[in-house]
Amino acid sequence: MIINHPLLGPRDSAEFTYMGDASLIDRPDWKNPQALTQFIDYGYMRDNPAGAHCELWYHEQGDRSFLVVTRDTTTHEIFSVELARDVARSRGRST
Protein backbone atom coordinates (compact mmCIF):
# COMPACT_ATOMS: atom_id res chain seq x y z
CA MET A 1 0.00 0.00 0.00
CA ILE A 2 1.39 3.42 -0.99
CA ILE A 3 0.36 6.54 0.91
CA ASN A 4 0.70 9.74 -1.11
CA HIS A 5 2.09 12.09 1.54
CA PRO A 6 0.85 15.66 0.85
CA LEU A 7 4.35 17.11 1.38
CA LEU A 8 6.74 14.28 0.53
CA GLY A 9 4.97 12.39 -2.24
CA PRO A 10 4.24 8.67 -2.47
CA ARG A 11 5.74 6.63 0.37
CA ASP A 12 5.44 2.98 1.27
CA SER A 13 2.98 2.28 4.08
CA ALA A 14 5.80 0.53 6.00
CA GLU A 15 7.09 4.03 6.85
CA PHE A 16 3.80 4.79 8.64
CA THR A 17 2.10 3.64 11.80
CA TYR A 18 -1.68 3.35 12.04
CA MET A 19 -2.90 5.55 14.89
CA GLY A 20 -6.64 4.88 14.89
CA ASP A 21 -9.87 6.41 13.73
CA ALA A 22 -9.61 10.05 12.57
CA SER A 23 -12.56 10.84 14.85
CA LEU A 24 -9.88 11.08 17.57
CA ILE A 25 -9.31 14.63 16.26
CA ASP A 26 -12.73 15.61 17.63
CA ARG A 27 -11.72 15.53 21.28
CA PRO A 28 -14.59 16.78 23.45
CA ASP A 29 -14.32 19.92 25.56
CA TRP A 30 -13.72 18.87 29.19
CA LYS A 31 -15.65 21.92 30.40
CA ASN A 32 -18.85 20.82 28.69
CA PRO A 33 -21.52 19.62 31.20
CA GLN A 34 -21.93 16.48 29.04
CA ALA A 35 -18.17 15.86 29.01
CA LEU A 36 -18.35 12.47 30.79
CA THR A 37 -20.77 11.00 28.25
CA GLN A 38 -18.89 12.60 25.39
CA PHE A 39 -15.54 11.22 26.56
CA ILE A 40 -16.96 7.71 26.93
CA ASP A 41 -18.15 7.90 23.33
CA TYR A 42 -14.85 9.45 22.28
CA GLY A 43 -12.81 6.80 24.01
CA TYR A 44 -14.79 3.66 23.19
CA MET A 45 -17.31 4.10 20.39
CA ARG A 46 -16.02 3.50 16.86
CA ASP A 47 -17.73 3.03 13.52
CA ASN A 48 -16.62 -0.08 11.70
CA PRO A 49 -17.49 0.67 8.08
CA ALA A 50 -17.03 -1.71 5.16
CA GLY A 51 -15.98 1.03 2.75
CA ALA A 52 -14.61 4.55 3.13
CA HIS A 53 -12.96 5.10 6.49
CA CYS A 54 -11.03 8.15 7.77
CA GLU A 55 -7.91 7.08 9.61
CA LEU A 56 -4.93 8.66 11.34
CA TRP A 57 -1.54 7.56 10.04
CA TYR A 58 1.72 8.70 11.64
CA HIS A 59 4.77 9.09 9.41
CA GLU A 60 7.07 7.60 12.01
CA GLN A 61 9.93 6.79 9.61
CA GLY A 62 9.59 10.13 7.86
CA ASP A 63 8.69 13.66 8.88
CA ARG A 64 6.58 12.61 11.89
CA SER A 65 3.44 14.17 10.45
CA PHE A 66 0.03 12.87 11.41
CA LEU A 67 -2.07 12.32 8.30
CA VAL A 68 -5.78 11.78 7.76
CA VAL A 69 -6.05 8.99 5.20
CA THR A 70 -9.46 8.17 3.70
CA ARG A 71 -9.26 4.53 2.70
CA ASP A 72 -11.67 1.86 1.49
CA THR A 73 -11.43 -0.90 4.07
CA THR A 74 -12.59 -3.51 1.56
CA THR A 75 -10.17 -2.69 -1.28
CA HIS A 76 -7.42 -0.61 0.44
CA GLU A 77 -7.96 2.06 -2.21
CA ILE A 78 -6.91 5.44 -0.80
CA PHE A 79 -9.19 8.34 -1.78
CA SER A 80 -7.43 11.24 -0.07
CA VAL A 81 -4.47 12.06 2.19
CA GLU A 82 -4.39 15.29 4.19
CA LEU A 83 -2.22 16.69 6.97
CA ALA A 84 -4.12 16.05 10.19
CA ARG A 85 -3.36 19.54 11.45
CA ASP A 86 -5.06 21.03 8.37
CA VAL A 87 -8.11 18.85 9.01
CA ALA A 88 -8.16 19.83 12.70
CA ARG A 89 -7.79 23.52 11.93
CA SER A 90 -10.56 23.36 9.32
CA ARG A 91 -12.79 22.15 12.16
CA GLY A 92 -11.84 25.12 14.33
CA ARG A 93 -9.13 23.42 16.38
CA SER A 94 -5.81 25.14 17.23
CA THR A 95 -6.48 28.08 14.93
Q: Interface residues with other proteins (CB under 8 A)?
A: 7-9, 11-12, 14-15, 60-65, 83, 85, 94
**For residues 19 and 85, which CB has a smaller minimum distance to other proteins in the complex?**
85
Nearest approach, Cβ of residue 56 and other proteins (Å): 15
Cβ partners under 8 Å of residue 4, min gap 6: 10, 11, 78, 81
| Angle formed at CA 89 by CA 34 and CA 49, multiple of 5 degrees | 65
Nearest approach, Cβ of residue 27 and other proteins (Å): 17
Nearest approach, Cβ of residue 59 and other proteins (Å): 9
What is d(CA 15, CA 71) in angstroms, rounded to the nearest whole number? 17
